[in-house]
Amino acid sequence: MPPKLRGVTVAADLGLEFDNSFIRDLVGLYEPWRGAPAPAPELLVLNEEVAAELGADPASLRSPAGVEVLAGNVVPPGAEPVAQAYSGHQFGGFSPRLGDGRALLVGEVIDRDGRRRDLHLKGSGRTPFSRGGDGKAAIGPMLREYLVGEALNALGIPTTRALAVVATGEQIIRVGPVPGAVLARVAASHIRVGTFEYVATRGDTDLLRRLADHAIARHHPRAREADNPYLALLDAVVDAQASLVARWMLVGFVHGVMNTDNMTVSGESLDFGPCAFLDDYDPSAVFSSIDHGGRYAYGNQPGIAQWNLARLAEAMLVLVDPDTDKAVSLATEVLGSFVDRFHRYWAEGVRAKLGLAEPRPDDDALVNDLLSLLERNRVDFTSFFRALSSPARGDRWPVGVSRPDPASLETWTARWRRRLAEEGRDPRVIAAAMDRVNPLYIPRNHQVEHALDAAGRGDLRPFEQLLEVLAQPYEERPGLEEYATPAPPAFGPYVTYCGT
Ligand code: AMP
Ligand code: MG
């Protein structure tokens, strides 16, 4: 019998088809659990695109019965909510037992394309993993995760995506009282580097093998065909993360809290709480209030990803080979390949940003000289690259867009133009291709704050407008100039607070 709610039959008509492989395959990695009741759930925002992908009828999700499901008050038929267990290296220090302290895996939905997608709630109340926390989330950070996930997705970057944010109708205590919320999100899975660390720490080789088999089947099925499937799994995760972090770097994204519990084996961006996009190009840029040492600074992200992958490799060693020395040597070689792979993905991406089609030996020098120029002159990363299609087209530099000092820019531009000329492609084709990879609209920090401030006062219009702008980051549209402009100087240095 489907659960009943205020006389309405719930959820059978939400259209979600569940098949919960994680709980079937991985007993020992979760605790069955239910969300804490949200006293007066109110839908703030629903992602109709994601709803449709999941095969859900948006109207039924907006109905009171649908909102009860999104708030975690009602379990839809076929779902079997659990809190997942995982460990994590947080800022370098190991916590053996983190887990979903304020989240639940509701179940796995088979979407309309046959893809398996985790449906997950964040802010749904205390669980056996809550430690000292209240299990809750505030509206602001949940709307922020919604917005940034949509922006990353529209930029073509693999990411978890929000389905909805529901206000719970309850005040929670942060610095002072703030309204609580639940974020419903979807992901290829929530298997993290920290999930492997959790099992390895317990020394349960049988569970570790089941976890690796599950991750292979779900995310990297080609690894199963390899001579050493577990080494091939590590290799596939190294590759997926090298690609992901390169894509972040190419749009100036700073994740903010790259702990191993926030790094997926699927290669999707996850738990980007205190994240932000660069304004001025600065490799040492840090926005998170808790990242005192700059561990997760923009320019450190590739090194941190490799460090996290080394933790994954350590956790998987017993699967890689029964002879530890051999396992270490095989895993070290795969880990070492991160640097080249990252560089390859990055270099390919930067070439596209510069309108170059073919790799050349002096590309690195051309790129690095440009980046030093941008850094020295504190040039806005996003608008500079976008503006570069104007000179590529043969036009003047766009009025008002920041650039390095004219003499240095002229010298660099002359080199770049020679390089473009050698390839002999049509300037209009080059410029159009550049505009397809250099976004005009990113979630600018001052715009995000403005939208969240207004939402906090009950006005969701700026949030919805910003979402709409970010859904098409590459296409210039009249009237949206303010979204393509760096923050006014009065905005000051930007600080983000961890996703609590
Ligand atoms: P995060 O920084 O959100 O990725 O969370 C890191 C760890 O802290 C995870 O195990 C979370 O479940 C847990 N956590 C974060 N906030 C809370 C909270 N308000 N209540 C309980 N656990 C939390
Ligand atoms: Mg997390």
Model confidence at 4: pLDDT above 50: no
Amino acid identity of residue 30, one-letter, is Y
Closest Cα to atom 11, ligand 1: which residue? Answer: 101
Percent of the chain whose predicted confidence (pLDDT) is above 90: 93
Q: Where are the beta strands (DSSP E) in 80-128?
A: 82-84, 88-90, 93-95, 103-110, 116-122
Model confidence at 489: pLDDT above 90: no
Where residue 89 falls among pLDDT bands split at 50, 70, 90?
very high
Is residue 421 packed enough to be buried (19+ CB in 10 Å), middle (13-18) or exposed (0-12)?
exposed
Q: Which of 33, 102, 296 to mutate to test the pocket of ligand 1 (most atoms within 8 A of CB)?
A: 102
Around ligand 1, the residues with Cβ closer than 6 Å are 98-103, 129-130, 133-136, 257, 262, 271, 273, 498-500
User: 122: closest CA among 108, 111, 109, 106?
Assistant: 106
Cα–Cα dist 177/173, whole Å: 4
Structure confidence at residue 9 (pLDDT): 40
Closest Cα to atom 23, ligand 1: which residue? Answer: 101
Q: Which ligand is nearest to the CA of 102?
A: 1
Structure confidence at residue 495 (pLDDT): 86
Model confidence at 1: pLDDT above 60: no
Structure confidence at residue 500 (pLDDT): 60
Structure confidence at residue 7 (pLDDT): 41
* Residue with the two structure tokens 């972040």: 248
Cα–Cα dist 72/149, whole Å: 21
pLDDT (tens digit, 9 = 90+) per residue, 212-234?
A: 999 999 999 999 999 999 999 99
User: 120: closest CA among 177, 160, 64?
Assistant: 160
Ligand 1 center–CA 281 separation, angstroms: 31
> CB under 8 Å to 493, separation ≥6 — which residues?
none
Ligand 1 center–CA 360 separation, angstroms: 46
Amino acid identity of residue 423, one-letter, is E
Q: Average pLDDT, stretch 103-131?
A: 98
162 contacts 199 by C-beta, under 8 angstroms:
no
Alpha-carbon distances, residue 415 vs 225, 286, 363, 421, 422 (angstroms): 47, 32, 11, 10, 11
Q: Which ligand is nearest to the CA of 262?
A: 2
Radius of gyration of the chain (CA): 23
- DSSP codes, 182-222: EEEEEES---BHHHHHHHHHHT-HHHHHHHHHHHHHHH-GG
Alpha-carbon distances, residue 291 vs 284, 297, 498, 499 (angstroms): 12, 8, 10, 13
Q: What mean pLDDT value characterizes the chain? A: 95
Closest ligand 1 atom, residue 137 Cα: 19
Q: What is the DSSP letter of 124?
A: -
Q: What is the DSSP letter of 34?
A: -
Ligand 2 center–CA 237 separation, angstroms: 18
Within 110-190, residue ranges assigned H as helices are 139-154
Closest ligand 1 atom, residue 136 Cα: 19
Q: Which ligand is nearest to the CA of 133?
A: 1
65 contacts 11 by C-beta, under 8 angstroms:
yes
Ligand 1 center–CA 102 separation, angstroms: 6
Amino acid identity of residue 120, one-letter, is H
Q: Which residues pair with 122 in a beta bridge?
A: 103, 183
Helix, strand, coil percentages (3-state) for the chain, rounded to 5, are 45, 15, 40
Structure confidence at residue 5 (pLDDT): 41
Q: At 9, which helix (H) or strand (E)?
A: strand 8-9
Q: What is the number of alpha carbons within 13 Å of residue 73 lying toward its C-beta?
A: 21
Closest Cα to atom 6, ligand 1: which residue? Answer: 98
Closest Cα to atom 22, ligand 1: which residue? Answer: 101
> What tokens does 460 get?
């969701």
pTM, two decimals, is 0.97
pLDDT (tens digit, 9 = 90+) per residue, 371-397?
A: 999 999 999 999 999 999 999 999 999
Within 290-323, residue ranges assigned H as helices are 301-320
Helix, strand or coil, per DSSP, at residue 318: helix
Closest ligand 1 atom, residue 98 Cα: 10
Structure confidence at residue 492 (pLDDT): 82
Residue 261 falls in the annotated catalytic set:
yes
Where residue 490 falls among pLDDT bands split at 50, 70, 90?
confident
Cα–Cα dist 56/67, whole Å: 13
Q: At 332, which helix (H) or strand (E)?
A: helix 324-353
Q: Which ligand is nearest to the CA of 173?
A: 1
Structure confidence at residue 498 (pLDDT): 59
User: Cβ–Cβ contacts within 10 Å for residue 493, how many?
Assistant: 6
* Residue with the two structure tokens 């930007």: 494
User: What are residue 130's phi and psi, to 5 degrees?
Assistant: -75, -15
Ligand 2 center–CA 122 separation, angstroms: 10
Q: Average pLDDT, stretch 72-83?
A: 96
Query: Which listed residue (100, 261, 271, 279) is catalytic?
Result: 261
Ligand 1 center–CA 195 separation, angstroms: 15
Closest Cα to atom 13, ligand 1: which residue? Answer: 101
Model confidence at 127: pLDDT above 80: yes
> What tokens does 357 get?
């089609």
> CB under 8 Å to 142, separation ≥6 — which residues?
122, 123, 165, 181, 182, 183
Closest Cα to atom 16, ligand 1: which residue? Answer: 500
> CB under 8 Å to 25, separation ≥6 — which residues?
210, 213, 214
pLDDT (tens digit, 9 = 90+) per residue, 56-75?
A: 999 999 999 999 999 999 99
Is residue 1 packed enough to be buried (19+ CB in 10 Å), middle (13-18) or exposed (0-12)?
exposed
Cα–Cα dist 481/386, whole Å: 13
